[in-house]
Amino acid sequence: MPTSRRTLLAGGAAGIGLAVAGAVPALAQGSPGRPYEPAGNGRVPFPPLVDDPQGILALPKGFSYAIVTRTGVTRLDRGQGLTPSDHDGMAVYNAGRGRYTLIQNHEIDPGAEFGVPHVKGTVYDPGAVDAGGCTVITTDRAGRNLGEYVAISGTVSNCAGGPTPWGTWLTCEETEDRAGDKWEEGGRSGAFQKDHGYVFEVWADGSADPTPIKCLGRYAHEALAIDKDRTNIYLSEDADGPNGLFYRWTAPRGGKVGPGTLTRLAPTAGTLAAMQIIMDDGSVLPDVAYLTSAQLGRPFPVRWINVPERDAKTTPVRKQFADGQVTRGRKFEGVWGTDEGVYVVNSYAWEDGDLPADAAPHDGMVWFYDYRDQTIQLVTYFPHQSTAEEGAPAKYGDLTFDGPDNLTVTPWGSLVLAEDGAGASHVLGAFPGGPTYAIARNQLNDSEFCGPTFTDDGKVLFVNMQDPGLTLAITGPWQKYLG
């Protein structure tokens, strides 16, 4: 589906993240609880991107990359076959002795050429053949592939998710498929034996219990983050017709989540609620697209309204609320938590049917929800300025950013965003009170980037290129530019 493009005021490799005179968005800072406060001067801008002789990844001078996995080329361990396709959300864990463990989603529907193979003990739904799941990869700082194997299979369209404080990965299905629904792909066909649209837990040692965490609801999950007290989980929904919601799950009174606890909870444990952004007159903002750059940095009170029936047995969760009862958003995407709050991305809203009456089209938003104040503020805004035709060639020289998707907070408090827009896709670095810079560009095709994640020491940025399915390890003087 084509998204829009916007023209940026550019210099070198940078583009101002907001095309409004005199206004510059702040994306992060050392104290994320006040993300919009402008920072002081003196940051070193990223140098311009340099074309890659291999035609894969353009990077600034002083940076380099290595390919860790490649769909259909690198091999899984234990005779499990070839690396699956459609790399998406991902987390990295320090495995000691200079090694890292990556847990990687594969956003695949059943019947794919390079689906996640069913491996005994990892399968959720036997009917979801060659579909999504997670693999576990071992690598080092040089990006050498030291092994990859299946951790969970038989799931569908594993999009993003989020790391837990105890070192596991919660993988999210972005689908609402039901048991009995039929699928057909490439001359193959089948039917689901179980409902889909759940969250599952995967461990860094590769073990996984393919039991859905039903208390977090069944809907088109995108990403999530757990607060520092381990009592709330914040979750995004990438859906339309009507547009999706931003959710908060709260643990049962006196309880906290930890290793293995989520899969043991009852389907109705805790409280799942949807976000309401409250306006000055006390009304509920019906859709985030009603707000524009004029509201950058302004905190809005947030309330949460309980989901009536979270397993969506008869009605999708987002349809259980009347318009105006909750705050909707087209393509709620990446979520990343800090000690003070949580960032959530709303990728764009401009196509026919995306917008409620009188709302403003936009090419992307980044929000920050403050745990303590229970407020949310728009911290960056990409105005809608142009439309790219479907299939249009990527304009690799254009520093035009749109469609922010996955994101991560760096070890220094700044943000890294993965672009999923029209034309050339970038990995973006963003700074408080300053511009947004291109720190990498897909020079191979117009596929999106996914799953950016930094090692804990800030030495390596791992990121995925969804098509043709590449995991990349990027090294360079990150702290100089992002610190």
The pLDDT of 206-220, averaged and rounded, is 93
For residue 335, give every residue at least 6 positions away whose Cβ sits within 8 Å of its Cβ, in sequence order, or none. 160, 162, 222, 223, 224, 225, 234, 235, 236, 342, 343, 344, 345
Q: Is the pLDDT of residue 15 over 70?
A: no
Burial class of 61 by CB neighbour count within 10 A (0 to 12, 13 to 18, 19+): exposed
The enclosing domain of 292 has a CATH number of: 2.120.10.30
What is the number of domains present in the chain?
1
**Can you give the pLDDT at residue 54?**
96
Q: Which residue has the higher pLDDT, 18 or 51?
A: 51
**Can you give the pLDDT at residue 343?**
95
Write the CA distances from 330 to 56, 115, 161, 241, 433, integer angstroms: 31, 28, 18, 9, 26
**Can you give the pLDDT at residue 386?**
55
The pLDDT of 436-459, averaged and rounded, is 94
Inter-residue contact 174 to 105 (CB < 8 Å): no
Q: What is the pLDDT of residues 57-105, one digit of tens each?
A: 999 999 999 999 999 999 999 999 999 999 999 999 999 999 999 999 9
**Can you give the pLDDT at residue 287?**
95
For residue 352, give every residue at least 6 positions away whose Cβ sits within 8 Å of its Cβ, in sequence order, or none. none
The pLDDT of 27-53, averaged and rounded, is 60
**Can you give the pLDDT at residue 359?**
87
**Can you give the pLDDT at residue 34?**
42
Exposure class string for 266-280: b at 16+ Cβ within 10 A, else e: eeebbbbbbbbbbee
User: Considering the chain, what percentage of its residues have pLDDT values greater than 90?
Assistant: 73
pLDDT band of residue 427 (cuts 50, 70, 90) is very high
Q: How far apart are CA 232 and CA 224, in angstroms?
A: 10
Alpha helix (H) residue ranges in 22-130: none
**Which bin fits 147, alpha (ψ -120 to 50), beta or left (φ > 0)?**
left
Q: Is the pLDDT of residue 211 over 90?
A: yes
Domain boundaries, position 177: 4-482
Q: How far apart are CA 472 and CA 483, in angstroms?
A: 21
> Which residue shows structure tokens 């390079």?
114
Q: Please give the mean pLDDT across all residues of the chain.
A: 87
Q: CA geometry: angle at 391 spanning 388 and 395, to 5°? A: 60
pLDDT band of residue 399 (cuts 50, 70, 90) is low
Q: Which residue has the higher pLDDT, 13 or 102?
A: 102
Q: Is the pLDDT of residue 150 over 60?
A: yes
**Can you give the pLDDT at residue 390?**
46
**Can you give the pLDDT at residue 384?**
80
As given in the structure block, the two tokens for residue 452 are: 């950016």
Q: Which residue has the higher pLDDT, 273 or 396?
A: 273
pLDDT band of residue 209 (cuts 50, 70, 90) is confident
**Can you give the pLDDT at residue 457?**
93
**Can you give the pLDDT at residue 41?**
47
pLDDT band of residue 269 (cuts 50, 70, 90) is very high
Q: How far apart are CA 467 and CA 81, in angstroms?
A: 19
**Can you give the pLDDT at residue 37?**
45
Quick one: which of 8, 6, 28 has its CA closest to 433?
Answer: 28
pLDDT band of residue 363 (cuts 50, 70, 90) is confident
Q: What is the pLDDT of residues 295-316, one digit of tens each?
A: 888 999 999 999 999 999 999 9
Q: What is the pLDDT of residues 162-195, one digit of tens each?
A: 999 999 999 999 999 999 999 999 889 999 999 9
Helix%, strand%, coil% for the chain, nearest 5: 5, 40, 55
The pLDDT of 28-32, averaged and rounded, is 29
Write the CA distances from 118 to 114, 122, 178, integer angstroms: 12, 7, 19
**Can you give the pLDDT at residue 16?**
31
The pLDDT of 109-119, averaged and rounded, is 97
**Can you give the pLDDT at residue 145?**
97
Q: How far apart are CA 419 and CA 439, in angstroms?
A: 11
Instruction: Give CB contacts under 8 A, 24+ apart, made by 465-469.
Output: 465/56, 465/57, 465/87, 466/86, 466/87, 466/88, 466/107, 467/85, 467/86, 468/70, 468/71, 468/72, 468/85, 468/444, 469/69, 469/70, 469/71, 469/72, 469/83, 469/84, 469/85, 469/86, 469/87, 469/114
**Can you give the pLDDT at residue 17?**
39
The pLDDT of 393-405, averaged and rounded, is 67
Q: Is the pLDDT of residue 431 over 80?
A: no
Q: Is the pLDDT of residue 361 over 70?
A: yes
Exposure class string for 197-232: b at 16+ Cβ within 10 A, else e: bbbbbbbbebebbbebbbbbbbbbbbbbbbbeebbb
pLDDT band of residue 19 (cuts 50, 70, 90) is very low
Q: How far apart are CA 438 and CA 51, in angstroms?
A: 13
